[in-house]
Amino acid sequence: MTISSMSKYALFALVALSAFSAVASAEDVVTLTGKNFDEWTSAQDFAVVEFYAPWCGHCKKLTPEYEKAAGILKKENPPILLAKVDATEEENKELGTKFGIRGFPTLKIFRKGAAPEDYNGPREADGIVDYVKKMSGPAASLLTTKKEVDAFLAENDAALLGVFSGEKDEALATFLTTANVFREDGGFAYVFDEKVLPTKGTKAGAKAHLYKKYDNEYDAFEGSIESEALKEFFNEKSTPLVVTFDQDPKNRARMNKVFSSEKPKMLAFVDFASKEDEMRRVLTEQAPKYKEHVNILIADFKDNDRAMEFFGLSKDSKKATVVIHSMADNKKYVQEVEGDFSKVATFMQGFADGKLEAHVKSEPIPDKNNDPVYVLVAKEFEKVMGSGKDVMVEFYAPWCGHCKKLAPIYDEVGTEFKSNDKVVVANFDATANDVPDAAFNVKGFPTLYFKNGKTGEISQYEGAREKDALIKYIKEKGAFAA
């Protein structure tokens, strides 16, 4: 019976039945603890585990989607199981440490006998299902007809096809290993007959063929299939010259690859509604020349307030701007290109030549600064640190609860040394200002450092956040505080 011939009632019943079958249940998600975790995960060929905290808002948002996906996936043949661990429970805290859980929710993929992998897929039910099915299935499949090859290429943005003599070809095992490593970065398949490959644009005799829906669209791997060479080939050639910086799951793996690299990152902020195509074209033209110097991303002004804030850009600005962050020395470079995208090439060349002046995000120097705790900003950081005075500085974030708790105590410390003009007790809003000196390694809040006015020695304070302990530290470490 076709849909057009169904009665309205029958169609309604079919939809209702489908909806009912997808009802989420907490029982569909396996609950794990420190007592049963190792035994359970080691028994699964494939499983996903969510590490969560009951108070976490993002975890609460994920819960119904995760439960719905679990209900669907457990009906697969064989079933694919999703599990969860309350990482805040005392008996489970060792698991959080063991697997490097630093935020919630964190999802990990477990395969029997293998080290866990990061889950980089969507956070909504249908996306979770599609991603998990892809990650749990074979890393690569055999294609035997042109129709199968065409369908495979149509469904993958990046598709690597290997050519082998048969199942006993020794190079096939190497290909499958590479496919497993990069399975979330693209599609992998293999053929035993080169004739089923697309004839147009395919290089005859190549051992592997990479077809893409971006950049140059095709690359041939012509060497012998060896593990490292094939991995290097796919890793380099499958990464777009210009990566989109957004929340789309298909871009997440590419972004992870870009941000795990030590190479400087260049972002182009632009209004996607009106100028995305033009900016993307310019970046793609310049990328081959500068890809050794920077990884290039393009970002919409919309939904990227935090990234813009990081570079000191106003979230209300709609002027196309390119920025570079050099992670090695934590320097930032900013260039507005609104109305003249030719400035993009000049900016990139300037960075490659080492001729750009670093941009320092800073609040204005306060007109009045007479409180017990000196308000330090990036514009005068070097001046204060080079003043020859003892300086204790707290790097904080306005939203940080621990910083708020420390504030009244720190004010008392400032009062203690207020009359000593050779001692400065300062604070520094590290969300509104760049830290200009890499010697001050700020990775969390609050972070406190002390610089001796005579020797210039810099030390990080890691003691108790109490008045007497802080005062004692300043007196012991300082040249003028005793």
* Neighbour-count burial of 31, counting CB atoms closer than 10 A to its CB (0-12 exposed, 13-18 middle, 19+ buried): exposed
Q: Which residues contact 83 (CB under 8 A, 6 or more apart)?
A: 29, 30, 31, 32, 40, 41, 47, 48, 49, 50
Residue 110 is predicted with a pLDDT of 95
Confidence of residue 352 (pLDDT cuts 50, 70, 90): very high
Residue 234 is predicted with a pLDDT of 94
The angle that helices 467-477 and 401-416 make with each other, rounded to 10 degrees, is: 60
Residue 219 has pLDDT above 50, yes or no: yes
Residue 9 is predicted with a pLDDT of 30
Whether 423 is a known active-site residue: answer no
Q: What confidence tens digit (pLDDT) does each residue in 257-273 have? A: 888 888 999 999 999 99
Q: What confidence tens digit (pLDDT) does each residue in 141-169 have? A: 999 999 999 999 999 999 999 999 999 99
The SS3 assignment for 298 reads strand
Residue 429 is predicted with a pLDDT of 96
Give the E-state strand segments of 241-330 in sequence order. 242-245, 265-270, 295-300, 321-326
* Cα–Cα distance list, 5 to 2, 9, 182, 202 (Å): 5, 11, 46, 46
* Neighbour-count burial of 307, counting CB atoms closer than 10 A to its CB (0-12 exposed, 13-18 middle, 19+ buried): middle
Whether 250 is a known active-site residue: answer no
Give the E-state strand segments of 195-276 in sequence order. 208-212, 218-221, 242-245, 265-270
- The residue annotated as part of the active site, out of 139, 400, 432, 442, is 400
Domains 243-353 and 374-477 share a fold: yes
Percent of the chain whose pLDDT exceeds 90: 75
Residue 80 is predicted with a pLDDT of 95
Residue 25 is predicted with a pLDDT of 60
In a 13 Å sphere around the CA of 197, the CA atoms on its Cβ side amount to: 27
Confidence of residue 26 (pLDDT cuts 50, 70, 90): low
Residue 331 is predicted with a pLDDT of 87
- The residue annotated as part of the active site, out of 32, 403, 423, 474, is 403
Give the predicted TM-score (pTM) of the model: 0.63
253 or 274, greater pLDDT? 274
Task: Give the containing element (helix H, strand E) for 14.
Answer: helix 8-21
Q: What confidence tens digit (pLDDT) does each residue in 102-153 have? A: 889 999 999 987 889 899 888 999 999 999 998 998 999 999 999 999 999 9
Evaluate whether the domain defined by 374-477 bears CATH number 3.40.30.10: yes
Mean pLDDT of the chain: 90
Q: What is the mean pLDDT of residues 63-80?
A: 95
The SS3 assignment for 328 reads coil
The bridge status of strand 158-163 relative to strand 187-191 is parallel
Whether 5 is a known active-site residue: answer no
d(CA 96, CA 119): 15
The domain ranges of the chain are 30-136, 141-238, 243-353, 374-477
Q: Which two tokens stand for residue 92?
A: 């489970």
Question: Three-state SS across 462-478?
Answer: CCCCCHHHHHHHHHHHC
Evaluate whether the domain defined by 141-238 bears CATH number 3.30.56.10: no
- In the numeric block, the tokens 């209300």 are attached to 316
The angle that helices 343-352 and 272-290 make with each other, rounded to 10 degrees, is: 40
Of 224, 234, 114, 226, which is closest to residue 174 (Cα–Cα)?
226
* Neighbour-count burial of 202, counting CB atoms closer than 10 A to its CB (0-12 exposed, 13-18 middle, 19+ buried): middle
Evaluate whether the domain defined by 30-136 bears CATH number 3.40.190.10: no
Range 124-132 contact pairs with CB under 8 angstroms and sequence separation of 24 or more: 124/65, 125/22, 125/24, 125/64, 125/65, 125/66, 125/68, 125/69, 125/72, 126/69, 127/249, 128/65, 128/66, 128/69, 129/69, 129/72, 129/73, 131/184, 131/249, 132/48, 132/69, 132/73, 132/80, 132/82
- The residue annotated as part of the active site, out of 47, 49, 59, 323, is 59
Whether 59 is a known active-site residue: answer yes
Residue 27 has pLDDT above 90, yes or no: no
- The residue annotated as part of the active site, out of 30, 56, 181, 229, is 56
Residue 438 is predicted with a pLDDT of 83
State residue 149 phi and psi, 5-degree precision.
-65, -45
Of 348, 354, 364, which is closest to residue 433 (Cα–Cα)?
364
* CA 314-316-319 angle, 5° bins: 80
Q: What confidence tens digit (pLDDT) does each residue in 382-415 have? A: 999 999 999 999 999 999 999 999 999 999 999 9
- In the numeric block, the tokens 């095992």 are attached to 173
Q: What confidence tens digit (pLDDT) does each residue in 413-443 have? A: 999 999 999 999 999 999 999 898 889 999 8
Task: Give the containing element (helix H, strand E) for 333.
Answer: strand 331-336
Residue 317 is predicted with a pLDDT of 78
CATH superfamily membership of 243-353: Glutaredoxin (3.40.30.10)
